[in-house]
A and B are shown apart, each in its own frame.
Chain A
Amino acid sequence: MLDQSDSYVTEDGRTIGGVVMEMKNITLRFGGVVAIKDISFDIREGEIRAIIGPNGAGKSSMLNVISGFYVPQEGEVFFRGKPRPQMRPYEVAQQGIARTFQNIALFEGMSVLDNVMTGRLNHMKAGLFQQALWKGKAEKEETENRELVEKVIDFLEIQHIRKTPVGRLPYGLKKRVELARALAAEPKLLLLDEPMAGMNVEEKEDMSRFILDVNDEFGTTIALIEHDMGVVMDLSDRVVVMDYGKKIGDGTPDEVRNNQAVIDAYLGVAHD
């Protein structure tokens, strides 16, 4: 179990538990290019953790390391207190880590319902023969998981497009469906890669509300990358700031906002 000794309660009454995921001295190189240089940080249970930084800072690479797409050359990833061996992305998903993508990665040919149902794949164990006959476990599982998926669909307010093929939906709704798919997996850790990219103010407000609700109601731990500073500062409990593959700041939004290195990275600084 997690070490809960240093858990605390936030101002708005949520309990932040022990460390769920810890990145220790991660270094990731692509040939000669160093994408991430010796970065360590942790994500605590129940918190919203933001990763910010200018373009090309290595934020998405960091998320890809967590979700198993990239294997870092150095450093270790600890998940729930144990060092994580090298894994394929689907094995990471089976551990309870779900994510969304910066540019939407939905299954365009399938309906919204089927897309969200794919999020339940790891929880459905019926064998090929049971499924072929649509008997016993296969049918039971389908119904049980459908109930849970419908809850997620209700929660994200996408009931009306349940049976619509995803390819026909507008951008904002697609982002929401992608979040629904990740949520349907009941993840222990949810990674969001720019959930609000390309949205207007209203859609951003909706999305922020959903993220807060997810965190509040299900207690899901969330790590997100976002460029909109207002959103990040409002949503997150703690923020990691990256620049050119290095960590230049880490702390509460207020601490980060007043960090000189962070201000320099964002506003630029005169080199003399």
Chain B
Amino acid sequence: MFYREAGDFKVSYQEDSQTFPIKFDRVRYYVVLAVAFGLIPFLINDYWANAILLPFLIYSIAAIGLNILVGYAGQVSLGTGGFMAVGAYACYKLMTTFPEVSMFIHVILAGGITGLVCVLFGLPSLRIKGFYLAVATLAAQFFLVWLFNRVPWFYNYSASGQINAPERDVFGIIITGPNAPSWATYLFCLIFLTLCAIVARNLTRGTQGRSWMAIRDMDIAAEIIGVNPLRAKLTAFAVSGFFIGVSGALFFAIYLGAVEVGEAFGITKSFLVLFMVIIGGLGSIFGSFAGAAFLVLLPVVLKVVGVDVLGWPTDIVAHFQLVIVGALIVFFLIVEPHGLAQLWRVAKEKLRLWPFPH
């Protein structure tokens, strides 16, 4: 009823392999883009930007990156926090060394550097799989955080050991530092998220995505039909690292402004992004958005309900928040182990037949 693909005929293979093969989806996608680019920047304020929109956009990029690695290529990684830190520190060093270069280039370069670092730590994946690989990437997490803490060159020998984003502008509009208007920071992140999502979708629907999924589903069979496992795994690490690096750079430069590595990019960050990917749905770009939205929004919603509606003390709500988020994650994984993306697919199946389910 609300959702139909009947009568939506394809006459070429290009049409059949496009990102949104169903017209209704396509229209909705353009509407979402129009609202995100054309409407929200005019309505945004500091609270919405900092509490919800910026973290959502940035975590979505990180979740897409990790989803490519874990969901598409099947290589478990617990090093996301560390890789985000690489992006952040690369961006910081670039910003301070080349102040006149555009932030767009800095963020992309930071992503590229993180991609290379990610490939380096992905090398063990050629020999080890599953939990053992997870432990190996955990080593990356701790090593990278230690490195950024202990080598003063990375934080430009500042006394506090922190890195602070200097004020930078794009086309005359300030986008970093405390004076940046919220709509500008929002748009900057949104542009990166849109580009990342499109690139991720293109990669995963084509040859590259198929060789990743082949490696994920059955590596022996993948090798026998001609997938070079070394190349497939390392490109997955590189592409994933690029996205995670971009998100790390944005997280530091646009969102936080000042970063202490152990606090901002610790192991909890790795788990947070991994939860987003698992709750959202492994092997789904939409799932990355859904997972990021879920874990960013849930604490905010709980806080609003607890403090503003029920009138509980703030500290109790803060503690309850952790308990409830944890419980919901467990609940979700039991009810729908394939994540929100699967829930969405099931809902679409149901809606197609509604209100006559037979």
Contact = CB atoms under 8 A, between A and B. Distances in A.
A143 B12 CA distance: 9
Interface stretch (A39-47, A134-142, A221-229): A134-142
Contacts of A176: none
A135 to B, nearest CB: 9
Contacts of B156: none
Interface SS of chain A = helix
A156 B192 CA distance: 44
Range of interface residues on B (Cβ < 8 Å): 20 to 34
Interface in B177-232: 199, 202-203, 206-208, 210-211, 213-214, 216-218, 220-229
Contacts of B226: 90, 93-94, 121-122, 185
B113 to A, nearest CB: 17
A131 B208 contact: yes
Interface in A143-193: 143, 146-147, 150, 181-182, 185
Interface in A7-33: none
A56 interface: no
A117 B204 CA distance: 13
A119 B225 contact: yes
A225 to B, nearest CB: 15
Given A128-B235, A131-B203, A141-B207, A118 B216 contact: no
Nearest to B224: A89
A121 B207 CA distance: 7
A121 B159 CA distance: 53
Main secondary structure of the interface of B (DSSP, over half): helix
Interface in A46-99: 67, 69, 88-90, 93-94, 98-99
Nearest to B220: A105
B356 interface: no
Contacts of B224: 67, 69, 89-90, 93, 98-99, 101, 105
Contacts of A118: 210-211, 214, 222, 225, 227
Given A110-B217, A121-B211, A90 B223 contact: yes
For the side of the interface on A, what is the size category? 35 or more
Given A132-B203, A134-B206, A107 B211 contact: no
A117 B210 contact: yes
Contact of A131 (B206, B214, B223, B283): B206
A99 B16 CA distance: 29
A124 B221 contact: no
Interface of B: 12-14, 16-17, 199, 202-203, 206-208, 210-211, 213-214, 216-218, 220-229, 235, 239, 283
Interface of A: 67, 69, 88-90, 93-94, 98-99, 101, 105-110, 114, 117-119, 121-122, 124, 126, 128, 131-134, 138-139, 141-143, 146-147, 150, 181-182, 185
Pairs A-B, 6 closest by C-beta atoms: A93-B226, A105-B221, A107-B217, A134-B202, A122-B226, A146-B13
15 contacts: A88-B223, A90-B223, A98-B224, A107-B221, A121-B214, A121-B226, A128-B235, A131-B206, A131-B207, A132-B199, A142-B17, A143-B13, A143-B17, A182-B225, A185-B225
